[in-house]
A and B are shown apart, each in its own frame.
Chain A
Amino acid sequence: MSFNPIGNKAGKSARLAVFAAALGGVAPAALAQATTVNYMEVIRSIFYLPSYIAIEKGYFKEQGIDVKMDTGWGTAKVIPPLMGGQRDIVLLGPESQVYIENSPSPDKTKIFCQLTAKDGLLVLSRKKMATNEFKWAMVKGKDYLDWTNGTTPQIDSQWVLKKHGIDPQKDLANYITNVASGNRDSAWIAGKGDFGTFFEPTASLIERENKGQVVASIGNEIGPMGFTVFMATDKYIAKNPKVVQGWCNAIQKAQNFVASAAPSDLAKLALPHFMQLDYGLMLSAIKRYQGLGVWATDVTYSAPSLTKLQDIMVAGGVLKAEQRVTYEKVVNRVFSENARKQAK
């Protein structure tokens, strides 16, 4: 095997050309004086559609914001960069805000804008059922594939089971919570569980593969409760109020667009962010979520949402009753209310 450290001449000029092009790409952005926002989302999901629409339709650019997005793949991975200042704005579940508020951290954060208004989990049944045939009592004595202990999908789903008088520890054959979230889809497909909760597009994928059918929506069972929100540190908000306001405006505009646009248009716009995802599945997921009304037409995270969230957290054992936080401490509604007024 020969090893030529310098590379051939053609390779060298190709590399120079790429380098020059990259420099050229950077220059115009620097001249445009847009503010760069380092943005991290907790996972990549069709559930967060309005955020991708805001990027693709240029709503952020209109507000003078240049978004640098990446995905953390887990709450625990998003919080350190947020607290350390490497990320300016993050997309997380609001329960993280409750945890941060209760923590000894000297820096605190605020929720300033809401993305999803409902839990997006769908309940799948392995056996096919007629419409409206499903009754919650049917899960008794069966295997229920839930999320890992302590995560918001798990405490939400557990709350709904208890609401219907089902004790997961006693009334189910197996309450399965020890499957890591990355493995849940393949576990279901491999045959684990008679009932289980999944987000889109997994739910559509399972239906398409004939491995199950959607029979209920956790979001509808819980009712409206902000499920995903944008957060930033108090320091960042104090230093960059215009950017935060611009962010809310862009998201509100995207929400308005998503509420009325055709699913196929939305799917086409979101496609660049879901290169691995089957177009048909994406379309099915968007249709279902539109029908369920999961996207927040009002970007203000409400007080009732926080109350309901904390009720569920206390019931789920992840929060002690005396650790409940007040709305004013964790939410800044100024920006979101302005955004709603502006985007009329």
Chain B
Amino acid sequence: MSAPEPKTQAAEKGASSEGYRAYLAKLRRDTRRVRFMQVLLIIAFLAVWEIASKQLWVNPMLTSQPSAVVEMFFTLARENRLEHHVWVTLKEAVASFVVAMAAAILIAMALWWSQFLYRMLDPFLVVANSLPKLALAPIFYIWLGDQWSVYGIAIAISVFLTILMIYGGFRETDADKIKLVRTFGGSRWQVLAKVVLPANIPVMIGALKINVGLALVGVIAGEFQASKAGLGYLIIYGSQILQMHMVMASIAILALMSVVMYLLIAWLENAVVRDRH
């Protein structure tokens, strides 16, 4: 997201010609314009929503409006223990995607290690990946009970895609580098630890980004099924008592949560990827 900026600023310090400096300045201007339009888009969206609701172009009971949503934030914080619900969902999402990432990396390593294992499991993994795990939510509930089914669904949704992504990355690792380590007498284990894993950090970061969204989907689906707390619970409760403001506020907080988690990973990516160069 913010990748071009550090490079242009750093490069500018060493920029030698007038033309090059002008080019870098233009890049900065373009980025500013993009930022400006993005902010404008958000404001326009909120404005249209608020006006449409106030002017009754849509039924405000069914759509809610930004001003009511903001008010509801404060009401929820005051009366309904909003922090508790946010914490429950956050904890479930983070735990699920940590487990999913760890499991996926280990399984991808095992698949890379044993070609036989990969050939044996490949069709099952592909089917498991294509199957909509949300359809299994009621089954997870019956098998794992109300507390653990949330984690189960979230992990199931993320893990299969991640395995395929990371294994794919492992397979694509530069064969020449691997040959190099082998010619120096390196074992398979050393190939894995020193070539394959480091080379695939970008793939793993990419998988992290996707997992954040998927884990949240799973957690909310699990909370819809059977929860006493969490943002999914607030959404269900709000819609049952016809409080659209509560539903919209919970959705807005969810959106905020996923953006923050994505930004944290992007920051991690900048830190890790920059180090390697």
Contacts and interface: CB of A to CB of B under 8 A. Distances in A.
Interface of A: 75-76, 79-80, 83-84, 96, 99-100, 103-107, 148-151, 177-180, 182-183, 186, 190, 318
B175 interface: no
Interface stretch (B27-35, B239-247, B264-272): B239-247
Given A178-B226, A179-B226, A180-B224, A106 B240 contact: no
A242 to B, nearest CB: 27
Interface string B203-247: 000000000000000000000111110000100110111101000
A160 B224 CA distance: 27
Contacts of B62: 79-80, 83-84, 105
A106 B242 contact: no
B202 interface: no
10 contacts: A75-B242, A80-B62, A96-B242, A104-B60, A105-B60, A105-B61, A105-B62, A148-B237, A148-B240, A149-B237
B135 interface: no
A178 B228 contact: yes
B10 interface: no
B141 interface: yes
Contacts of B61: 83, 100, 103-105
B226 A103 contact: no
Contacts of B60: 103-106
A178 B146 contact: yes
A99 B225 contact: no
A148 B223 CA distance: 12
A318 B240 CA distance: 10
Contacts of B241: 99, 150, 318
Contact of B226 (A100, A104, A180): A180
Nearest to A319: B241
A75 B240 contact: yes
B59 interface: yes
B1 interface: no
A183 B226 contact: yes
B142 interface: yes
B59 A99 contact: no
Nearest to A99: B242
Nearest to B53: A104
Contacts of A151: 240
A106 B56 contact: yes
Nearest to B239: A76
A83 B226 contact: no
A183 B242 CA distance: 22
Contacts of A75: 240, 242
A80 B227 CA distance: 25
Contact of B142 (A100, A105, A186): A186
A148 B59 contact: no
Contact of B59 (A83, A177, A178, A186): A83
A150 B240 contact: yes
A76 B226 contact: no
A150 B146 CA distance: 19
A189 to B, nearest CB: 11
B201 to A, nearest CB: 40
B141 A76 contact: no
Contacts of A183: 138, 141-142, 225-226
A290 to B, nearest CB: 30
Nearest to B237: A150
Nearest to A98: B242
Given A180-B225, A183-B138, A183-B226, A105 B59 contact: yes
